[in-house]
Amino acid sequence: MAGVPTPGLDLIKTFEGLSLQAYPDPKTGNLPITIGWGSTRDRNGRPFQLGDRITRQEADDLLLAQAANDYLAPQRNIPGWNNLNENQQGAILSFAYNLGARFYGARGFETISRVLRNQEWHNIEAALILYRNPGTNVEEGLLRRRLSEANVFLAGTPGVALSTAGQRYLAGGRTPVPGSNLSREAQTYLANRPTVVTGGGSTGNSTPPAPGSRLLRLTNPLTSGEDVRQVQQALVRWGASITTDGLFGPATRQAVEQFQRSQNLVADGIVGPQTWAFLQRTPTPPTPPTPPPPPLNRLLSLTNPFTIGDDVRTAQRALAQAGIAVVSDGIFGPATDRAVRQFQSSRGLVADGIIGPQTWARLQNQLSTPPPAPTPPPPTPPAQSTPTHIRVLRLATPFTRGDDVRIVQQAIARSGIPVVADGVFGPATDRAVRQFQARRGLTVDGIVGSQTRRALGV
Q: Catalytic pick from 16, 86, 125, 140?
A: 16
CA distance 424 to 409: 9
Query: Residue 58 catalytic?
Result: no
Sign of CA dihedral 279, 284, 290, 294: negative
CA distance 274 to 260: 10
Backbone angles phi, psi at 333, to 5 degrees: -105, -170
* Max Cα–Cα distance, the chain, nearest Å: 82
Going by C-alpha positions, the residue among 29, 20, 95 that lies closest to residue 58 is: 20
CA distance 19 to 9: 16
Name residue 179's amino acid.
G
Q: How many residues does the chain have?
A: 458
Going by C-alpha positions, the residue among 202, 75, 205, 185 that lies closest to residue 128 is: 202
CA distance 61 to 47: 17
Beta-sheet pairing, 400-401 with 331-332: unpaired
CA distance 212 to 227: 6
Determine how many CB atoms are found less than 10 A away from the CB of residue 121: 24
CA distance 187 to 124: 20
CA distance 434 to 437: 5
Helix (H) or strand (E) holding 20: strand 19-23
Q: What is the 3-state secondary structure (H, E, C) of 277-301?
A: HHHHCCCCCCCCCCCCCCCCCCCEC
**What is the set of active-site residues?**
16
